[in-house]
Amino acid sequence: MSKRCFSTLLMCVLVIPFMISMVSAETLKIGSMSPLTGPYASDGTDIKNGVLTAIEVFEQTEGPIPGYDKIELFPQDTVCDPRQAVAAANKLINLKVVGVIGAYCSSSTIPSSETLDEAKIIMITPASTNEQVTDRGLPYMFRMCGRDDDQAPAAAKFMKESLNAKTIFIVDDKTTYSQGLADGVSKNAKALGMDVVTHDHVNQGDKDFSAVLTKVKAANPDIFYMSLQGYSPAALMTIQAKRMGITSQIVTQDATFQPKFMEVAKDAAEGVYLTYGFTDPTTPEYKAFEEKYVPKYGKIAAYATYAYDSTIALLKAIKAAGSTDPDKIKAELMKLDFNGASKHVKFKENGDSGSSYIAFKVVKGEFVPYWEPEKGLIK
């Protein structure tokens, strides 16, 4: 084939997508923002998969949104990098999306939400737990997951009451989320009379934690609290801690709530505690989600369920509003009151939807609900 012929063909192929989008103008566009590459790609992919499942389920159960043929998702990659996140937000603004589900890292959500807010685009985060996400008074910012200033006291209370801990060694990996939460846990633990022996830090992307673990071993605290961004470093740290013969009880947080954690850490994961929002896996809403998600994407992970609920909430509100006017959609979002897959969804004035942190324990490769702040041990 001659060169010219080839390039003409290539141009034709490249033009087709544009032609399609011109023909079917009645596509409802929504965006998602999460890390699809980089160290947190797995967690970000879970979010994207959750959103895709929600669109599929919504189209089946609630039918199309009046005035639109179909709903299309534009997944954007943030790489958990604030600059990339803002770039992704600008791209979504240019695509004229109605709403955005994302981002994953609090450090991405915070700057990108300001960009989206200027363009009056609704943003619902399924995963960013830092307080600042909804504390800045942005009118179009919503949150499906819990808040760190709810998670930290729950974790501290759990360590004090259920594990009778006196000394804690805290390690975080210096992201807005992980360090913020670690500081919160430290503050709450001290308030409850526990002794925070050391609060050390590691770097994102580290694989070798032997130096800090040797310190943990020498300090021999009751609790070794890991606040790390994502399950992957948590799994590595757990394996290395067990191998080094650290006997302190390991407690960690919501970012570790990923079945892959047990797959990588295997036996070392047994008996690890972590705090995560309570989700009842027996509800029909969860079952409906599970039915569609699992065959396509495998085991349900940390934020897929929240991403699913965020998307359902957004689509419900758009349908009820009957327009893409952000203020009307916001009004409808505030009126929402339904059972989601993860929890009962009802937004508060500041955009939060409440936290329900409980402690889970890893038993035989599964996360088992173990303790809740009000009632104590779960039978």
Using CB under 8 A, count the residues that bind other proteins.
Answer: 38
Distance CA 138, CA 116 (A): 10
Q: Which of 120, 136, 187, 201 binds other proteins (CB under 8 A)?
A: 201
* Cβ-based nearer residue to other proteins, 307 or 313: 307
Distance CA 86, CA 100 (A): 13
Q: Is 328 in the site for other proteins (CB under 8 A)?
A: no
Pairing of strands 167-172, 122-125: unpaired
* Cβ-based nearer residue to other proteins, 163 or 239: 239
Side chain identity at 259, as an amino acid letter? Answer: P
Q: Least distance in Å: CB of 171 to other proteins? A: 7
Side chain identity at 78, as an amino acid letter? Answer: T
Q: Is 42 in the site for other proteins (CB under 8 A)?
A: yes
Q: Is 171 in the site for other proteins (CB under 8 A)?
A: yes
Distance CA 239, CA 376 (A): 29
Q: Is 264 in the site for other proteins (CB under 8 A)?
A: yes
Q: Is 217 in the site for other proteins (CB under 8 A)?
A: yes
Q: Is 236 in the site for other proteins (CB under 8 A)?
A: yes
Q: Is 353 in the site for other proteins (CB under 8 A)?
A: no
Candidates 118-126, 201-209, 273-281, 371-379 — which segment interacts with other proteins by CB under 8 A? 201-209
Q: Which of 31, 32, 34, 45 binds other proteins (CB under 8 A)?
A: 45
Query: Residue written as tokens 């203020």?
Result: 327
Candidates 64-72, 82-90, 212-220, 309-317 — which segment interacts with other proteins by CB under 8 A? 212-220
Q: Is 218 in the site for other proteins (CB under 8 A)?
A: yes
The H or E element spanning position 249 is strand 249-252
Q: Is 200 in the site for other proteins (CB under 8 A)?
A: yes
Closest CA to 34 of 45, 21, 23: 45
Closest CA to 243 of 263, 204, 272, 217: 217
Q: Which of 70, 83, 96, 243 binds other proteins (CB under 8 A)?
A: 243
The H or E element spanning position 19 is helix 3-23
Q: Least distance in Å: CB of 161 to other proteins? A: 30
Q: Is 235 in the site for other proteins (CB under 8 A)?
A: yes
Q: Is 93 in the site for other proteins (CB under 8 A)?
A: no
Side-chain half-sphere CA neighbours of 44 within 13 A: 25
Q: Is 320 in the site for other proteins (CB under 8 A)?
A: no
Distance CA 190, CA 166 (A): 10
Q: Name residues whose C-beta falls within 8 Å of residue 306's C-beta, 6 or more positions apart in sequence.
A: 50, 126, 127, 144, 145, 277, 342
With contact defined as beta carbons under 8 Å apart, do 78 and 85 qualify?
yes
Beta bridge partner(s), residue 74: 31
* Cβ-based nearer residue to other proteins, 190 or 243: 243
- What are the residues binding other proteins (CB under 8 A)? 36-39, 41-42, 44-45, 171, 174, 200-203, 205-208, 210-212, 214-215, 217-218, 232, 235-236, 239-240, 243-245, 260, 263-266
